[in-house]
Structure 1
């Protein structure tokens, strides 16, 4: 059998392949990383601007209830004590998120959980079989919460009227009857001190990395390695044999401001549909920065077109059925493994991505 130059060809330099490469290097394995962008890190890439670590592709807050994943991540970096407590702005008022007693007090001036429950119950529509996202939300939380916080944001995020969106995209809406603004209920949470890019650099430090290289246009690279870990879009790999899977994309308007504090919080959601963006990030607040300047990112959801960055899989029945056909093709492969959010057509949180990468490496290294 012909000896390969590399043990693994890793297509994509995001978090999944970074963790995989780190484990492979510990075992003395050789990895070649192929990345179409001009930098490593994928969507967790952070860039230092005027001393502020900017999340170039949207906010990434690491959170998990998986202690093994948390302990593993501690070997790669030190986490700060950031707690995600976003705010919502509707019209000219600010509200706490997620929906909790602070939100209910701001909405209705209620003081107790019982008062809040009664108010919500009085507004719920009690629809037996919700036919769309609007009916589902009204059934779960009632009119005030839906029209002020959910309708506009959801329609901007998905680019469609809520009455045209399937009910399953709103499977549940967490309501907290405590004064708790911590968005996540996971016990472990934080931001890597210094941002995510140093972690990715550490993980790839023993790998050969080719940037600005599109694997689809350079498939002969696959001959160099025994196994391939592919984190690109699975339909593109198969030349869209069955058609295109659908995604939502994002655009970011980044601004460096000559002031020390723009909005006083890391994340503020804009839930009014008349405001074209969904949220503004102020990056210094992720790391409690005291710089004299600040950097903000204004996030605009947009329609995905072929060639654009694919952020959110649109897991409709049609798309899931289409993905299943591509998955059937991939299951016949002997030395290529489809992974990450694009390869598996699902939007996983970072802890799940790390866990999946560790699991795949363990399986392949046996």
Structure 2
């Protein structure tokens, strides 16, 4: 059978779209397929009452890479949004990420030295030398008071496990600052696409054949024959028909509501950190683009256990799953005409800029650059 495409790309999220763009620019013919009814993967935005609603959870673009920043700005202009969420614990609001504002709210400390001393005192009381789990790591970073109110309940909801049963590395990327700075990210370049992320994806996939509502696995052999190579961005264990077992994920359920008022909570995100509140946060989407619409849209985010009928959001990178992934990775490396890339195919939590950088690097390798 004569090959119609150079690359059949499974998945129209960031990895697939960036890879397709680079190949198309180099003169290669690409087909992008996606089982959803829209392109863009989890960064897809749905327009409701003139508001770009982040359908699969909030996405804030941030990077220190000028190369990545310049790349995305070819397709859409970004605003100057800075992510500064709040935490709600039993009706009291605290600043995030953990910084001097937060410590002052807890202890009345006004200098970094006072805050550090308070945290060291609480670590000493619990005699934590080398953190063995998430709870001990969190207390080592911010003390027991902050941990009990702002981390424990939220984390246990998020992962569906006791904090003592979670590995310490999960919390190590948590920002802790001894400055009065509520900006969650320190990256040089930050913002939200003006007009939503769909503009970015539309720009990347312009002029490229895209088939939506198309499940690769329903006609796998036909799609494999249509391309010289397949670029696969779905779940790596699904590609191999789960022959070694299932990798685990955490999933999410979203409940969105349009409210007949201009402003509900005055900020893009509030985390609800007590265990008894079933959702982890409320997102008010209009604040990402400084919206002035008469109505507003909020979304409550509920973590849940994953099964194969739910969307996989967060890989559970514990020892068992990491070992299983490495076995699947060996199978993937033996596939001569398949490129595996992205969050699901690499079983790795990626921020957007990391996915883009990974796709650019893989495309350059493919092009021999």
Could you tell me the TM-score, scaled by structure 2's length?
Answer: 0.96
Deviations 1:90-143 (A, max 9, x none): 111111100111111111122222221111111113422333222222233221
Measure, in 2, the Cα distance between the counterparts of 1:55 and 1:173: 23
Q: CA deviation at 1:59?
A: 0.6
8 Å CA contact 1:88, 1:97 repeated in 2: yes
Which residue is equivalent to 1:344? Answer: 346
Q: Distance in 2 between matches of 1:123 and 1:129?
A: 15
Alignment match of 2:250 (pick from 232, 248, 251): 248
CA RMSD, 1 decimal: 1.2
C-alpha distance in structure 2 between counterparts of 1:188 and 1:197, whole Å: 20
Q: Could you tell me how far apart the structure 1 residues matched to 2:185 and 2:163 are?
A: 25
Q: Does 1:31 align with 2:30?
A: yes
Name 1:275's counterpart in structure 2: 277
Structure 1, residues 267-297: CA drift from partner, whole Å, max 9, x if none? 1111111110001100000000000000011
Provide, for residues 179-233 of structure 1, a one-character-per-residue CA deviation record: whole Å limited to 9, x for no partner: 1000001010000000001211221121211111111121021100011110000
More moved, 122-131 vs 84-93: 122-131
Q: Does residue 22 of the first structure (1) align with residue 24 of the second (2)? A: no
Q: Which runs of 5+ in 2 are unaligned?
A: none
Cα deviations by residue, 1:157-176 (Å, 9 ceiling, x for unpaired): 00011122223322354321
Q: What's 2:152 paired with?
A: 151
Distance 1:308 1:49, change over 3 A: same
- 1:19-62 Cα shifts (integer Å, max 9, x gaps): 11112222222111111111111000001111100000001000
Task: Report the Cα offset of residue 328 of structure 1.
Answer: 0.3
Between the aligned partners of 2:152 and 2:188, the Cα distance in structure 1 is: 30
Distance of 1:316 and 1:364 partners within structure 2: 31
More moved, 41-50 vs 168-177: 168-177
**Other-structure match for 1:175:** 176
Q: 1:38 to 1:135 in 2, by over 3 A?
A: same
Distance 2:128 2:174 in 1: 15
Residue 259 of structure 1 corresponds to 261
Among 283, 286, 291, the alignment partner of 1:284 is 286
CA contact (8 A) 1:141 1:173 kept: no
1:173 and 1:187 map into 2 onto residues whose CA distance is: 18
Is there any run of 5+ residues in structure 1 with no aligned partner, and where? none
Paired with 1:154 and 1:147, the residues of 2 have a C-alpha distance of 11
Q: SS of 1:343's equivalent?
A: coil
Aligned residues: 365
Given that residues 64 and 351 in structure 1 are in contact (C-alpha distance below 8 angstroms), is that contact kept between their aligned partners in structure 2? yes
Match of 1:42 in 2: 41
CA distance in 2 between counterparts of 1:108 and 1:129 reads 25
Counterparts of 1:132 and 1:109, CA distance in 2: 29
Matches within 5 A, 1:1-366: 3-124=2-123, 125-171=126-172, 173-219=174-220, 220-366=222-368
SS of the aligned residue for 1:209 comes to strand
Q: State the distance in 1 between where 2:345 and 2:174 align.
A: 28
